[in-house]
Structure 1
Amino acid sequence: MSFGKVLTAMVTPFDDQNKVDFDQTSILIEHLISSGSDGLVITGTTGESPTLTRSEKISLWKHAVQTVHQRVPVIAGTGSNNTSDTIEMSRQAEAAGVDAVMLVAPYYNKPDQEGLYRHFKAAAESVSLPVMIYNVPGRSAAKIEPETVIRLSKISNITSVKEASGDLNAIASIVAHTDPGFSVYSGDDHLTLPAYVIGAAGIISVASHVIGDEMQRMLRLFDLGRGRKAGALHRELLPIYEGMFSAPSPAPVKEALRCIGIETGGVRLPLRALNKEEKEDIRSLLNHSSVQN
């Protein structure tokens, strides 16, 4: 199942008291829809899900669904390292009206492949929504092997995987051994084009907060058979991809949004705000990029 080509892993706007700012959330959603985002992933890692309360997450899902009003898919990050909690939050997201849920690999407790399979199977069977698996071993310390993803793809409502291991061979294997209706999304901005070339459906992106239109243009060029032009644009965008992770995410992308006039506030501890030099680096990156925002 495809949710589009460029999906944005959306930041959570906070006010000056570090509370969720729903007015700015609406402004951000409108910005993203108008600047290249085919879908929105709410309360994922970039949305600072570890520091959001249950009630904040539910409120954000409801607000996003209402604001988006079926213009693009809304995917809720509902996964945790507790299967029963994942089931409960996925049911809450379904009740809120989201279009799909994204389930991260259980972190910290390090299940084996059979444990991962049973976790995702139990969560998927608890809802009728499409389910996207999220493989991010750099954060979770639990790698979902391609063989496990392929096995999970046989469950009717497990329709997608966000593959953020940085392993193009894994992406190729999953694409080759799953049904055509199963979609693979890169979770690494710098691999957007390489992953797309080998069969990924697209990207779940951080950089698309500020260069969504350019990322769409890059993929469109490839679709039109202009591979070298797409590759040239990929190289132009690399500094932005890298800059959005020059400090712990999402602090850099929140600063980039501020630079283009979208206020999303700070970050919650244990993440920290950028210092003056880091902020200047982000502003300089945007100002000197060939991409005009």
Structure 2
Amino acid sequence: MGLPVSAGAPSAWVQRWSHLLAPGASVLDVACGGGRHVAWFSGRGHPVCGVDIDTSVAAANAPQAELIQADIENGPWPLLHRQFGAVVVCNYLWRPLFPRLLERPMLDDGSVDYAALRKLIDWHIAEGTDCVCVVGTTGESPTVTVDEHCEIIRVAVEQAAGRLPIMAGCGANSTKEAIELARFAKKVGAQCQLQVVPYYNKPTQEGQYLHFKSIAEAVDLPLVLYNVPGRTVADMAHDTVMRLADVPGIIGIKEATGNIDRAQWLIKHAPAGFSIYSGDDPTAIALMLCGGHGNVSVTANVAPRLMHALCMAAIAGDCRAAIALHQQLMPLNQALFVEPNPIPVKWAAARIGLCKGNLRLPLTDLTPPTQVLVEAALRSSGVLV
């Protein structure tokens, strides 16, 4: 399709990422000017909305597009409740635009949405999830109070009502606090606890061993270790894991380093009854095909049925099916970590209608460029149609 000379050619940047858009996905062109991108996307079958203080030239170049005349620097944002598959913003980032793009009314006071939590539990049961872990990294454990932490566990257990196990995140960098959280989780009926390597205070390997051993001895609740040195700084050595595997009540580890050599070593040397779970979605398939036992997943928060199918195929040794599912989920696995977890997955969950997208500081809203990536990944994986 030839463009009028006055429209101009689309920028190389826009052409470079435009292939990520699903067919027919809607596009918002902010400060659309002469309409070069409005016309270009319209010519490729995308419904386009252009916004500018003067849309007369764009109207001449792209008469089929939706054009909105608005002062986006000084006036109210005109599309507060609209959603788009992509947002185009060229040569405009220095002006006071993004605060308005990100601005949205708070539908609550920032308190925990327990009603949404109950709905999420029911949804995961319907989607075939095998176990729900609450108040972990993705569950925003660092930004809840101790009282909220406990109430989230209680509500999750109550809502599950034995229909699926609840793994209660009980980690803390104080052994005393971790024991108190684990005692509460046991009291309200959680089936197991997840205990992360203590963060910030950087315990030695002996300190880590005594920390987890003390929790297991104090609370009779099956304990899954959680090693994620990218967040905790402290790494749990192979030998420490094997020492802890011999402690009664410690039943497995969530290994979130993404290091498959390490995972293979743990799988080979773990005693019977000690499970090795992935905590890294992009490499989970490799861990399970090597003999691992499952995946404590971020991606499963928005694609539980697909992740469940991948896990079942990989654990059964069905490489062909597992690889096909892994390839389907890979764009989502990558997009959900472009910004720190749980920022992208919270936005994705809100995008597909599971919950509100509110976050507590110091977590901030997902940036518009990453929203485009996550949206495209949700569509390419089939989660959003």
Using the size of structure 1 for normalisation, the TM-score is 0.90
Match of 2:173 among 73, 81, 101: 81
Q: 3-state SS of the aligned residue for 1:134? A: strand
Q: Is 1:163 equivalent to 2:255 in the alignment? A: yes
1:218 aligns with one of 297, 302, 310: 310
Matched, 1:66 2:158: yes
Shift of 1:26: 0.7
Identity %: 39
Give the aligned partner of residue 283 of structure 2. Answer: 191
Instruction: Say if 1:15 and 1:21, in contact at 8 Å, map to a contact too.
Output: no
**Aligned equivalent of 2:269:** 177
1:251 corresponds in structure 2 to 343
Separation (CA, whole Å) in 1 of partners of 2:258 and 2:372: 29
CA contact (8 A) 1:36 1:216 kept: yes
Which of 221, 228, 236 matches 1:129? Answer: 221
Cα deviation per residue 1:244-265 (whole Å; 9 max; x = unaligned)? 1121211211221122221233
> Alpha-carbon deviation of 1:179?
1.8
**What is the aligned partner in structure 2 of residue 109 from structure 1?**
201
Unpaired segments ≥5 residues, structure 1? 1-13
Query: Equivalents in 2 of 1:222, 1:55: separation in Å?
Result: 39
Report the AA paired with residue 257 of structure 1: A
Q: CA deviation at 1:72?
A: 1.0
What secondary structure, in the 3-state scheme, does the structure 2 residue paired with 1:205 have? coil
| Alpha-carbon distance change, 95 to 288 in structure 1, aligned in 2, over 3 angstroms | same
Q: Is the 8 A contact 1:15 1:265 kept in 2?
A: no
Q: Is the 8 A contact 1:113 1:145 kept in 2?
A: yes
Per-residue deviation, 1:225: 4.8
Aligned residue among 253, 272, 289 for 2:381: 289
CA contact 1:193–1:234 (8 Å) conserved in 2? yes
Q: Does 1:144 align with 2:233?
A: no
Deviations 1:39-74 (A, max 9, x none): 011111111111111100111111011100011111
CA shift for structure 1 position 228: 2.5
The count of residues paired between Structure 1 and Structure 2 equals: 280
Q: 2:223, 2:365 → 1: CA distance?
A: 33
- For the residues of structure 1 that align with 2:243 and 2:210, how far apart are their CA atoms? 11
* More off after superposition, 280-289 vs 22-31: 280-289
Compute the displacement of 1:212 (Å). Answer: 1.5
Say whether 1:273 aligns with 2:368.
no
In structure 1, what residue type is equivalent to 2:257?
S
What does the per-residue CA deviation read over 1:6-54, in whole Å, with 9 as the maximum and x for residues that have no partner? xxxxxxxx96321101101111111112123100111111111111111
Question: Closer, same or farther in 2 for the Cα pair 1:231/1:81, shift >3 Å?
Answer: same
2:148 matches 1:56: yes
More helix by share: 1
CA RMSD of aligned residues (A): 1.7
Q: How does 1:226-245 map to 2 (within 5 A)?
A: 226-245=318-337
Q: Which runs of 5+ in 2 are unaligned?
A: 1-105
The CA distance in 1 between the partners of 2:313 and 2:294, in whole Å, is 14
Give, in whole Å, the separation in 1 of the partners of 2:169 and 2:275. 17
The answer to which structure, 1 or 2, has the higher relative contact order (CA under 8 A, 6+ apart) is 1
Change in Cα spacing, 1:45 to 1:223, as seen in structure 2 (3 Å) is: closer
- Residue 182 of structure 2: which of 90, 96, 118 is its match? 90
The aligned residue for residue 33 of structure 2 is none
Larger C-alpha radius of gyration, 1 or 2? 2
- Does the CA-based 8 Å contact 1:251-1:266 persist in structure 2? no
Partner amino acid, structure 1, of 2:132: L
Relative distance call for 1:63 and 1:133 in structure 2 (3 A) is same
Does the alignment pair 1:26 with 2:121? no
- SS of 1:67's equivalent in the other structure is helix
Judged with a 3 Å threshold, the aligned counterparts in structure 2 of structure 1 residues 61 and 225 are, in CA distance, closer, same or farther, namely closer
* Residues 101 and 225 (structure 1), Cα distance of their counterparts in 2 relative to 1, 3 Å cut: closer
Letter in 2 for 1:81: N
- 1:201 is aligned to 293
Q: 1:44 aligns with which of 136, 142, 145?
A: 136
Shift of 1:128: 0.5
Kindly state the Cα deviation for residue 232 of structure 1 after the two structures are TM-superposed: 2.6
Q: TM-score, normalised by structure 2?
A: 0.69
Structure 1 residues 15, 194: CA separation in 2 closer, same or farther (over 3 Å shift)?
A: farther
Equivalent position of 2:60 in the other structure: none
What is residue 118 of structure 1 aligned with on the other side? 210
